[in-house]
Structure 1
């Protein structure tokens, strides 16, 4: 049973503080976040639409990109609408069940993106290092298997953590000094022994984060060896351009996640943690479609064709 420390009544809701030091700027802050959220939804829906309909974008790389765009939509939608309410009200309550649901969606999608980025790096490895066998190896069965397993494994793993969180008692406070129901803020409020939950998170980080990150590193080491083996400069540049966007997205994604979950959740560093989390949740899904489209002539051509048809 979830109880508070004063009268032992069940805790039915949490109070999310958000960025309380920015309350004096809540209207411009709200406007910026709302604009970024709207642009993120539009950009990623456009990517999904293009990948689904454009004959130019039927390769495995764009298939994975479409699912990454879907994951980004779920990520921002699970957090930002409630965050906008927190900004306007200078803090807002969230029901206990809704808080756990928010954590579940967020955690599941973050894990899914780890797997999708790993699958995309493997796709680039096959395309660059084994071009003659690329079509036969990265076939329809494999790409669907990679995507389905990414979603299913991720939400299954997070379900285990969620079940352990649901068993905790919350009795110290119901105030979350963050802008959403993340793992660390929830543990801060628990008066139960959280050793089991922490061990679970450490164990699950191996198949979700460590193994995927190692797969990405190994793929890119092989890719770089192949690229450096190309004799012409133009050939090296052209080959590198096919994976540069993915490499940038991986660097931003894992860099932000590393900072979030290694910076201590206390004192001044709490503000740093919240700000990096904001970048991770709001800015990264906004930048992903831009990064992939910036130097990709096929996407640019499909966008122009889409605009002409829509117009």
Structure 2
């Protein structure tokens, strides 16, 4: 007989980072500050690039897309966490939990592919500069963005449908501050072998393929830069890639750290703290990395702030 899904009226509990009531106000203030800083910083990047005609190029189009994705990514998790702390209610509805899983997957996958697309953009700009405008056209930029978004949506919907077939008949406590796919699957009392295998395959494809593309692009970039005769040209080429490399290292470094910590650390609380590293920290630091390391972005931000102050 086919197992019946008992989750139609179920409520999951998000245990968060700690159960100590004395620490809840501190965690609320800390994450509210991080959330507001992330939203403001990424909005400033988007507004600065949009208001400066000199930055209406493919590289900055993808940077705007990355900033918007970071806003959506952090918004899919932190507001619910803050609401739960404020109301002292750890619950999240079954529908709300599956929706959160879906949105998180969309934005994580999109972030992966955006970083790969940005690496490809730098590869074409440095290795094939004369053909850059014919290869990276506005139509191609939009198409690459839509393809990346479509892959994320299809993957998210597929995983959500796989969750719908599971039965949850035990304690529905999620030891993190948001509904993470692997943590939700662990709560199921039905067979999850297929789901766990799918997560592994999807991680290899949607994480490994973009990362391989990034590595391939930078191998050719470094090779081309080292062949440049002038040191000034080398410095300019590396400076345009420095910000992107820093963001890539932060995103994949924190993701790998969470994976390793979940494998070697038994404490679910420590795993929850590690999850903060890839859901909050990259989204918050990305705009600062680009604004501090990229001269054009710094100049655009300076102009935007000057115009705003003079109004």
Q: Which residue of 1 aligns with 2:74?
A: 76
Q: State how far apart, in whole Å, the 1-side matches of 2:213 and 2:15 are.
A: 38
Q: Which residue of 2 aligns with 1:191?
A: 189
RMSD between aligned alpha carbons? 1.8
Q: Which residue of 1 aligns with 2:114?
A: 116
Which of the residues 12, 15, 39 maps onto 1:17?
Answer: 15
Q: State how far apart, in whole Å, the 2-side matches of 1:278 and 1:91 are.
A: 20
Q: Which residue of 2 aligns with 1:3?
A: 6
Q: State how far apart, in whole Å, the 2-side matches of 1:22 and 1:142 are.
A: 51
Q: CA deviation at 1:122?
A: 0.1
Which of the residues 135, 139, 142 maps onto 1:141?
Answer: 139
User: Which is further off, 41-50 or 115-124?
Assistant: 41-50
RCO (CA 8 Å, sep 6+): is it higher in 1 or 2? Answer: 2
Query: In 2 relative to 1, CA 289–211 (structure 1 residues): closer, same or farther, beyond 3 Å?
Result: same
Q: State how far apart, in whole Å, the 2-side matches of 1:89 and 1:20 are.
A: 15
TM-score (norm 2): 0.93
Contact map agreement 1:86 1:179 (CA 8 A) in 2: no
What stretches of structure 2 of length at least 5 have no aligned partner? none
TM-score (norm 1): 0.93
User: Which is further off, 212-221 or 84-93?
Assistant: 84-93
**CA offsets per residue over residues 233-255 of structure 1, 9 Å max, x none?**
33322210000100010011011
Query: In 2 relative to 1, CA 288–267 (structure 1 residues): closer, same or farther, beyond 3 Å?
Result: closer
Q: State how far apart, in whole Å, the 1-side matches of 2:224 and 2:264 are.
A: 45
Asked whether 1:279 is paired with 2:282, we answer no
What stretches of structure 1 of length at least 5 have no aligned partner? 5-9
**What is the aligned length?**
306
Q: State how far apart, in whole Å, the 1-side matches of 2:224 and 2:305 are.
A: 38
Aligned ranges 1:1-311 → 2 under 5 Å: 1-3=4-6, 11-21=9-19, 23-89=21-87, 92-264=90-262, 268-311=266-309
Contact map agreement 1:33 1:84 (CA 8 A) in 2: yes
